[in-house]
Structures are given as C-alpha cells and as structure tokens.
Amino acid sequence: MFDEIRVLDEWNHSVSDDYSMTRALQRAGRSIVFVPECLTPAYVDVDFHGLLEFTNRQILITKVYSKKNWAMGAATHFLYCLTLPLGLAVTLTNFFATLPAFHLAILTFVPMLLAAIREDFACPAATSVLPSSRARKSRSSVDVYSCWAYLFHICFSLTS
C-alpha cells in the first residue's frame, strides 16, 4: 500500500510527514483510522519556550497543508478568546448597575472551566493506552508540557 499510493514521492517535497501521508491517502481514496494502541510516546524535555515554538510550528504547518482546518481552528479560537473579555465586561457592567449578573458570569466562565476539565483528562487518556510510558512521564515535571505538545500534535494530525 505504501508504494502503491506513492508516499515516498509525497515525502520528497514535504515538511510534514503526517500531512503528506494524509494527502497521499486521500489522493488514493483511502481513509485514516485512529488506533489508540498505535500511539508512540515521544519523550521530549521541553520548557515553555519550546512548547510555544512547537505549537507555532504545528499551526504554521497546518496553515500550509490544510487551510480549511486552520481557518476553522483560528475562527473557533478567536471566538473562544473573545468570550472572556466580552463576558467579563457585560458581567461587570450589569453587576455595577445592580442588574442580575450571575447568569452572565456562569455563561462566561463555565465553558472555560469545562474545557480545563476536559484537558485534564487528555494526558491520562493518552497514557492509558501506553502503560509503559506512565512511569517515565511521572519522573519529570516538564513532561506535562511534552504531553500537551504531543496531544496538540495528535489533534492536528487527526483532523487532517
């Protein structure tokens, strides 16, 4: 299959092996199936600067290889980020005007709380299919950043 869909030809002029493989599969009319047992742990010691560099690189690669996914992600992220200051301004305006404001605060902050809770389950979910990586992940404090970076990469790879 690898030779049949000419993956090496795609990789010869590629920056991203994931997106190139996706293009080759799509061109051949094949689909991608997520198999959790096929996750491969990548042990990378990274600081916050390294995490930002990695995520920026992944976002740029997505913009080049999958403009539609990038645009949808950018729009979603923009709206998500706009929620906090707008919700806070409306909530405080109502609060200082002695109007009901609690429901506005709930609408502003609960989605962020739910997103944080969802993300709190992401690393344990990834390591649950990789039991051998649990011991190594717990040894280093910077592995939290590695796990987030790895999951970010997985999410962009799966949406392609």
Contact between 88 and 108 (Cβ < 8 Å): yes
Mean pLDDT of 70-84: 88
In the predicted model, what is the mean pLDDT of residues 49-57?
Answer: 87
Position 83 confidence tier, pLDDT thresholds 50, 70, 90: confident
Residue holding tokens 């709206």? 79
The pLDDT tens digits for 94-152 are: 999 999 999 999 988 888 788 778 777 776 766 676 666 554 544 444 444 455 555 55
Which tokens hold the place of 140? 């280093």
User: What is the model's pLDDT at position 77?
Assistant: 86
**Residue-level pLDDT at 103:** 92
